[in-house]
């Protein structure tokens, strides 16, 4: 099982764009989540004293990823945290809907010990897509900063 992400040079002049991929939908979600966490702060400098469980269900995996990534932005502002690690599982229900169960870990923002990066304001739908291609999944996400 593997996933990856890379920030793009020539898309989203004023903001941040990344491509994420995985050899399953769950791995794609892992890759995209790592990208958003990495955009906010260096996760290796962030502790895990704050935890939040998140569950979401959507018919469309693209909407599910959009909402999940938006959850990260929401908790960053609402609880004033940045993130270090996370867990998530994606399952497909009998009705064809996709269910996400995840846990975010992080700690309160502290610029003295954490390497802070961008104050991500939101996930956008500009050029946004989630696609299954061949044996894997990929997504393009533009993040408003």
Partner 1 sequence: MECAGGGGRMKLHTEMRVNRITDEVWEIPISEKSGMLVPARIYATPTILQSMDAGVFEQVTNVACLPGIRRYALCMPDGHWGYGFPIGGVAAFDVRTGIISPGGVGYDVNCGMRLMRTNLTQQDVQPLLERLMTELFRRVPAGVGASGAVRLDHSSFEDVMVRGARWCIENGYGWPQDLEAIEERGCIAGADPSKVSDQAVSRGINQLGTLGSGNHYLEVQVVASDRVFDQKIASAWGITGHDQIVVMVHCGSRGFGHQVASDYLKVFEKAMRRYGISVNDQQLACAPFTSVEGQDYFSAMNCAANTAFANRQVINHQIREAFAAVFGRSAEELGMELVYDVAHNIAKVERYPEGDLVVHRKGSTRALGPGSPDLSPRYRTTGQPVICGGSMETGSYLLAGTQAAMSDTFASTMHGSGRTMSRAQAKKTIRGEQVQKQMKQRGILVKAVSMSGLAEEAGFAYKDISEVVETVDRAGITKKVAELRPIGNIKG
Q: Which residue from 35, 36, 37, 41 is in contact with partner 1, where contact means CB under 8 A?
A: 41
Stretch that binds partner 1, among 13-21, 23-31, 50-58, 130-138 (CB under 8 A): 13-21
Both tokens of 126, joined, read 């500009």
DSSP at 47: -
Q: How far lies 76's CA from each of 2, 3, 65, 82, 122, in Å? A: 26, 24, 17, 6, 11
Q: Does 12 bind partner 1 (CB under 8 A)?
A: yes
Q: Tell me whether residue 2 or residue 108 sits nearer to partner 1 (CB atom).
A: 108
Q: Does 16 bind partner 1 (CB under 8 A)?
A: yes
Q: Tell me whether residue 34 or residue 41 sits nearer to partner 1 (CB atom).
A: 41
Q: Tell me whether residue 27 or residue 98 sits nearer to partner 1 (CB atom).
A: 98
Distance CA 144, CA 126 (A): 10
Q: Does 45 bind partner 1 (CB under 8 A)?
A: no
Name the strands in the sheet holding 3-7, side by side, starting at the edge strand that comes first in the sequence.
3-7, 16-22, 136-144, 122-133
Distance CA 125, CA 7 (A): 16
Q: How far lies 57's CA from each of 63, 97, 99, 136, in Å? A: 9, 7, 4, 21
Stretch that binds partner 1, among 26-34, 48-56, 88-96, 109-117 (CB under 8 A): 109-117
Q: Tell me whether residue 1 or residue 112 sits nearer to partner 1 (CB atom).
A: 112
Q: CB of 90: closest distance to partner 1 in angstroms?
A: 21
């Amino acid at each position: 099982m593997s996933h990856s992400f890379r920030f793009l040079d020539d898309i989203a002049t004023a903001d941040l764009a990344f491509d994420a991929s995985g050899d399953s939908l769950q791995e794609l979600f892992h890759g995209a989540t790592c990208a958003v966490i990495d955009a906010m702060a260096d996760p290796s400098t962030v502790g895990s004293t704050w935890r939040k469980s998140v569950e979401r269900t959507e018919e469309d995996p693209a909407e599910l990823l959009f909402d999940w990534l938006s959850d990260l932005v929401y908790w960053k502002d609402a609880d004033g945290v940045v993130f270090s690690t996370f867990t998530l599982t994606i399952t497909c229900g009998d009705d064809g809907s996709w269910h996400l169960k995840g846990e975010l870990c992080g700690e309160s923002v502290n610029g003295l010990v954490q390497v802070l990066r961008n104050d991500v304001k939101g996930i956008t739908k500009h050029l946004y897509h989630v696609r299954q291609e061949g044996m894997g999944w990929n997504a393009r996400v533009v993040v408003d900063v």
